[in-house]
Amino acid sequence: MEIINVEGIVLKSVKYNESSKILNILTKEYGLIGVMAKGALKPKSTLRVVSENFTYANFQISYKKDKISTLLEGDTIDYFINIKSDLEKYSYLNYLSELTYNVYKESENNEIYDLFKNAVLKIEEGYDPKVITNIVEIKYLDYLGIGLYLDGCVVCQKTSVSTISLSKGGFVCAMHKGNDKEYLANTIKMIRGYYYVDISKISDLKIKKEVIDEIDEFLTLYYREYTGLYLKSKKFLKEVK
């Protein structure tokens, strides 16, 4: 057992007995940590606020690797006030958290923390939550082992491509497109942009609605077809929209 100070975000929390909670905190250095927040449900507990879902804070934790650790204290970095006051944005955060939890469990890759954190910060700053979420989704595919091939035709590597193929998992040229749906040329260009963009450096997002919607449609179908993830929060997101 050691005392650690670590930045993280609460992805999930469940009630444990009358007054406590168990949190799943995603961190960069220690990955996903299971943490007991003793007494966090008591009105006067100092752990109450920092034990809420989606808390982004510096946590002090009595750390036990591969066991339940204990939360000692937390110091909130950002309350995500804009997200929490907007049902649509909040639904995206809810979905992104559930997705991140699942992707982390599958890959245990510590790069996921920054991807997730930067995405949430951009949504909080006011960028389109659908675009930001799609950017994260496309990047997460690599960690799920089903990344899209976006540097040419997935079959012949020719660089002039004509659409993106659900069944082949990437761009295809005119010769190899078969029965694949024709997406807009801008959709093809932007989807590659989504994949390569550094989320923390996004400063303007001027994308046509039809392009945004096509990318969202493609990714929704691709996730449904290949990830085996059925997330309650995704269903809820659809209902909110």
Residue ranges that bind Zn ion, judged by CB under 5 A: 153, 155-156, 158, 173, 176
Q: Is 155 or 207 the residue whose CB approaches Zn ion more closely?
A: 155
CB of 155 to Zn ion, least distance (A): 4
What's the one-letter identity of residue 48? Answer: R
* Helix-then-strand count for the chain, H and E: 7, 7
Indicate the residue whose CB is closest to Zn ion.
153
**DSSP secondary structure letter of residue 189:** H
Helical ranges in 45-184 per DSSP H = 81-84, 87-107, 111-125, 129-143
CB of 189 to Zn ion, least distance (A): 18
Residue 237: CB minimum distance to Zn ion, A: 35
Question: By the 8 A CB rule, do 205 and 127 touch?
Answer: yes
Nearer to Zn ion, 4 or 155 (CB): 155
The alpha helices in the chain, defined as continuous H runs, are 81-84, 87-107, 111-125, 129-143, 185-196, 209-226, 232-240
Q: At what angle do helices 209-226 and 129-143 cross, to 10 degrees?
A: 30
155 vs 166, which CB is nearer to Zn ion? 155
How would you label 147-176 residue by residue, b for 16+ Cβ within 10 Å and e otherwise? Answer: ebbbebbbbeeeeebbbbbeebbbbbbeeb
- H or E element in which residue 197 lies: none
Q: Which lies closer to Zn ion via its Cβ, residue 48 or residue 168?
A: 168
User: From residue 188, how far is each of 69, 175, 184, 229, 237 by CA, in Å?
Assistant: 45, 16, 7, 25, 25
**Shortest reach from residue 236's CB to Zn ion, in Å:** 39
Here the tokens at position 235 are 């269903």
Q: Which of 153/211 has CB closer to Zn ion?
A: 153
Closest contact distance (angstroms) between CB of 171 and Zn ion is 9
| Comparison of 26 and 153: residue with beta carbon closer to Zn ion | 153
In the complex, least distance from residue 84 CB atom to Zn ion, rounded to whole angstroms: 47
